[in-house]
Structure 1
Amino acid sequence: MNFRLEFTPKTLAKPIRHEDKLFLIGSCFTEQIGQKLAHHKFRVIDNPNGILFNPVSIAASLSTYIAPKIYAEPDLFYHQELWGSWAHHTRFSHPDKQVALGRINESQQKAHRFLKEADWLMLTLGSAFVYEQSGAVVANCHKVPTDKFLKRLLSVEEVVDVLEKSLRETILLNPGLHCLVTISPVRHLRDGFVENNRSKATLILAVEELCRRMPQVFYFPAYELIIDDLRDYRFFAEDMVHPNYAATQYVWEKFRDTCFDKACIGLLDRIAEIVQAASHK
């Protein structure tokens, strides 16, 4: 008797080649897949602003890479003896504001150069909830008390509009760019069980509409592979929220088999063998 329904994603209409340059941005699940890609010697850049969860912050960060934006002292804030940016993860924060700005602007320049030449933009959306301060969405709360922010759930229309605008701007910079969107399977249970499902549903509906509007945009069902295919707490870490190694490996294998071209798939095992051999020297 079969106690599980396995799900095989559709083959990507435009397969990814090993020589392609991949720009990854989004939630912590982005970094897990990014590590797999880097291990197999793909040319990647991963989260130039650090981990980003909501579509508004992802879209805003993409827009800053186009020019690119140069951050200055007015873009920073001071909290708990650190200078940080509301648009960036805490890994950019530093007690010296010039060091913080240096880190941020160096990353901006690298992101700009890579984005101009990238073949693929891979977005992983984590949550449709946003935190606003003075009417502006922040990418990270930097351990500032939550009562200092207004929390709200984006509508499907808001998600579609903000991502479409940003993607169209990005494609003007790089007309050959294609975009692969995923929904993170990491459950944001601090929002609440019901609220997390509403958030994920908002993202799923928004991505469907985005793919309909833009032929350059494709969807990879990482969320469905974890939640509907594996569908078991043994595939989650001890926090019962993040997918564990086995789950991530399963998604990677499905991603490899449905999104890479045949030549690329043929290379991966050989590359893994060489990398493993080199690590044992």
Structure 2
Amino acid sequence: MQFFANINIKPLEPSISYRDKIVLTGSCFTEHIGNFLIESKFNALQNPNGILFDPQSVASSLLSYIENKAYAENDLFYLNEAWNSWQHHSRFSNIDKEACLNAINNSQQQAHAFLKHADWLIITLGSAFTYKLVQGSAFYVEPNEVANCHKAPAQNFIKHLNTIEEIITTFDTVIHRLFYFNPKLKIIFTISPVRHLRDGVVDNNRSKARLIEAVHHLVNKFDKLYYFPAYELVIDVLRDYRFYDVDLAHPNYAATQFVLDKFSETCFSQSTKELVEEIKKIVIAKKHKPFNSQSSLHKKFLQQQLEKAKDILQRHPYLNLEEEIKYFSKG
């Protein structure tokens, strides 16, 4: 008896390798993929603006990286005893204006330099809803689209459900700019399986449907664009509330791992998958907490892991295992 609907995911061609540079941007599910890649020692940069959910915010952030935009003091606003940016996640917010601005601009410069030479850009869209500042509100600025509302009072915003045409038009321009900026860049689109229940079940489904339709239009139109079905793997294959967290909105650990396993299976070559497993053992070994750090047994363990890390580095000198080698050298 078959308990899961089959889903045919074409292997990514060309596949992602350890020699590649990868930029990730978008919703909170982006960070599941990004954290997996970073912990597996891929050369990856994730969410330079912090978490972004809607197409307009993602597109605007990508254009700002291309242009190496420098943010100024008048791009910030003061709310809840902190300086914030409408275009950035609250992880950039700070009680000190200069510290906030420095963090934003340092991230901008890093993103500009990294994207210029990146091999892959992974975009995860979460919602087709955007928020715009109401003209006449105390916070009103131009452009008035915001990526993060920073818990400002609701009366300051207009909520807008982007049409399929608006999403396509927005990304059409950005993709042309991206390919001109970095001709070797390849792009993977995914739709986040996180359910935006605050929009209501009906509007959440309308939102996801528009994202899916727009993304498939773009993938069919452009070369070097690909689609990975993270949304479908959770919603249509797993299809059960036991794969969600207690909020019934976020996929739980089991569901996330299922998606990441499928990502590895379809986006990596066999040699890359084997190297991921080797590195995973080294990373786990580094997290090992010894009962007695001075024991001969633990020192032997460190020496063994050091030799394994050095062996991997000798075979793959482009990897960054500096932290692991430093840790294991303590023995």
Assess same fold via TM > 0.5.
yes
- The 2-side partners of 1:260 and 1:83 are apart by 41
Cα deviation for residue 278 of structure 1 reads: 2.1
Partner of 1:123: 123
Partner of 1:260: 268
Q: Does 1:186 align with 2:184?
A: no
- The DSSP-based 3-state class of the residue aligned with 1:25 is strand
Partner of 2:40: 40
- Runs ≥4 residues deviating over 2 A: 1-4
Listed as ranges, the gaps of 5+ residues in structure 2 are: 136-142, 289-301, 303-331
Partner of 2:162: 154
Partner of 2:108: 108
AA aligned to 1:75 is D
Cα deviation for residue 262 of structure 1 reads: 1.9
Partner of 2:245: 237
Partner of 1:70: 70
- The 2-side partners of 1:47 and 1:167 are apart by 18
Partner of 1:60: 60
Cα deviation for residue 261 of structure 1 reads: 1.6
Please give the per-residue CA displacement for 1:160-207, whole angstroms capped at 9, x wherever unaligned: 111121121122111000000000000001001000000000000000
Q: 2:217 aligns with which of 209, 216, 229?
A: 209
AA aligned to 1:29 is F
Q: Does 1:24 align with 2:24?
A: yes
- The DSSP-based 3-state class of the residue aligned with 2:248 is coil
**Greater mean deviation of Cα atoms: 155-164 or 131-140:** 131-140
Cα deviation for residue 3 of structure 1 reads: 2.6
- The 2-side partners of 1:248 and 1:19 are apart by 25
Q: Does 1:143 align with 2:151?
A: yes
Please give the per-residue CA displacement for 1:128-155, whole angstroms capped at 9, x wherever unaligned: 0000114621000000122210001000
Cα deviation for residue 85 of structure 1 reads: 0.5
Partner of 2:85: 85
- The 1-side partners of 2:255 and 2:18 are apart by 23
- The DSSP-based 3-state class of the residue aligned with 1:45 is strand
Cα deviation for residue 28 of structure 1 reads: 0.2
% same residue: 53
AA aligned to 1:214 is F
**Greater mean deviation of Cα atoms: 258-267 or 4-13:** 4-13
Is the 1:211–1:219 Cα contact (8 Å) retained in structure 2?
yes
- The DSSP-based 3-state class of the residue aligned with 1:176 is coil
- The DSSP-based 3-state class of the residue aligned with 2:78 is strand
Cα deviation for residue 275 of structure 1 reads: 1.1
- The 2-side partners of 1:147 and 1:123 are apart by 30
- The DSSP-based 3-state class of the residue aligned with 2:152 is coil
Cα deviation for residue 43 of structure 1 reads: 0.5
AA aligned to 2:144 is A
| Higher Cα radius of gyration | 2
Partner of 1:218: 226
- The 2-side partners of 1:66 and 1:204 are apart by 25
Listed as ranges, the gaps of 5+ residues in structure 1 are: none
Cα deviation for residue 266 of structure 1 reads: 1.6
Cα deviation for residue 67 of structure 1 reads: 2.2
AA aligned to 2:58 is I
Cα deviation for residue 15 of structure 1 reads: 1.0
AA aligned to 1:253 is D
**Greater mean deviation of Cα atoms: 132-141 or 201-210:** 132-141
- The DSSP-based 3-state class of the residue aligned with 2:83 is strand
- The DSSP-based 3-state class of the residue aligned with 1:95 is coil
Is the 1:159–1:206 Cα contact (8 Å) retained in structure 2?
yes
Is the 1:84–1:100 Cα contact (8 Å) retained in structure 2?
yes
TM superposition score normalised by structure 2: 0.83
**Greater mean deviation of Cα atoms: 134-143 or 246-255:** 134-143
- The DSSP-based 3-state class of the residue aligned with 2:226 is strand
**Greater mean deviation of Cα atoms: 184-193 or 269-278:** 269-278
Q: How many residues align?
A: 281
